[in-house]
Amino acid sequence: MKKILPEEFLKRMKVLLGDEYDAFLKTYNETPVRGLRLNLSKLATAHDSTHKISYQSLLHDWKLMPLDEGAQKTSEDTEAERSREFYINEERLAELGIRPGKHPYHEAGVYYIQEPSAMQVVEQLDIRPFDRVMDLCASPGGKSTQAADHLDPELGGLIISNEYVASRARTLSSNFERMGILNGAVLNEDTGRLAAYFPGYFSRIIVDAPCSGEGMFRKDDTAISEWSPDNVLKCIIRQKEIVANAVKMLASGGKMSYSTCTFEPGEDEEMAQYILTLDPELELIYEKKIWPHKERGEGHYIAVFKKRGPETVAPEPCSLDLFRETGFRRKKGKDQDFLIPEYMPDLRGLHVLREGVPFAERLKNRLEPAHALSHAVRFSKDAFQMYFSLLDLSVDDPRVGQYLHGLEISASQDELVPAEAGEKVENPFKGYVLIACDGQALGFGKYSNSRIKNHYPKGLRFV
């Protein structure tokens, strides 16, 4: 279907692009390209299984195409060296009858569907395992969860993700849960309050600024209808406020990315020059404009800044064990208990939606394991197996679909890998079973007489 684009936008783009304008305009008659980013933390910590999904098997079976098309990874590559970012091979998935947004691996947090241009931002920040990261305009969570996959909780790496719009912040929190982030927090705050709370605290900051969304026109008619020159000016004013607060939170030697999904120079290159005026210690170390007629994707603008001065150094490694609560502090909420890494900052006084790992649901006479606990990665698998029996199903097993639809499923005692603790330790979650698909956890159920009562959250169930 031919897109009807704003006349004023087209005039601006013709001036901006000159001889490239016609090639740019042709992209609006092309099908949008989708990207998929693998969660290496999940793939590295999968439960052992005869039908375990692996990095290599997923690349082979789905014929994923690396974003960096020259990157040909091998099975000998380390986790840190492996590509995370891929183009979706739509033809191959159609051949397999797979809808990637409605697949058990998606529900398990094995991957995140993300626009290819947007995936380039975090890779330019050079996030280290021990960095303190702030994502200031974070929903729905693509860049946050991408950054989190570079962090090591046992080296003190943490991420705090903020979203000003409450409904979008809840979406962000849901994606934190699905991707298994235990060393992070989700806030619903004003950037000015955060700047006052965290002066010079973060060694990496992501600002994916709210913008006029010109890079969304090909796949989102709402972005077209909302565009106007006045809205562009409003975005610039809002962006200036956000980046001014972001710079105040950047630590000595730290790096900050600024990005948009628009082509307007006032929101892009001119905003980068404005950021440089906010602190004389800042330098622009990387800048790129991604155009849809030059690269596969919707387009993006990326600028990365570095603050001069000594860099943050890695702390001493710490030991984290969710079940023995080693390295965690317990926090009681209204209906849930949370386990929060001890190195996480105190967030009292801020509007916190999520902090650490929701560990247990507190009911009248008992505790139930929180759904987030099933997805928390980088935990000790041995410790996890101490407390929960495991039912690990093949992706082709019809019970996987039944479970994701919220139905009760059957399982013989012989199919369960029993919890190892037995009667040796006190188990607050006795009788609960972890349901997994190809070694990747989906959620919990309660086992009795060869039946498993479904505990997959109602809001996540397939319909």
Distance CA 232, CA 238 (A): 10
Distance CA 145, CA 122 (A): 10
Q: Which two tokens stand for residue 176?
A: 């934190």
What is the number of other CB atoms lying within 10 angstroms of the CB of residue 379? 18
Instruction: List Cα–Cα distances, 181 to 103, 398, 441, in angstroms.
Output: 20, 28, 14
Picking from 315, 337, 341, the residue whose alpha carbon sits closest to that of residue 327 is 341
Exactly one of 235, 261, 318, 437 is catalytic; name it: 261
Q: Which two tokens stand for residue 33?
A: 């390209």
User: What's 101's DSSP letter?
Assistant: G
Distance CA 212, CA 232 (A): 5
**DSSP calls for 270-315:** HHHHHHHTT-TTEEEEEEEEE-TTTSSSS-EEEEEEEE-SPPP---
Q: Does the active-site annotation cover 261? A: yes
Which alpha helices (H) appear in 318-404, and where do they start and end?
371-375, 381-387, 398-404
> For 247, what's the count of Cα atoms within 13 Å in the CB-facing half-sphere?
22
Which positions ≥6 away from 298 have C-beta within 8 Å? 32, 33, 115, 116, 117, 215, 216, 218, 219, 261, 292
Picking from 446, 448, 444, 447, the residue whose alpha carbon sits closest to that of residue 456 is 444
Which positions ≥6 away from 401 have C-beta within 8 Å? 104, 462
Active site residues: 261
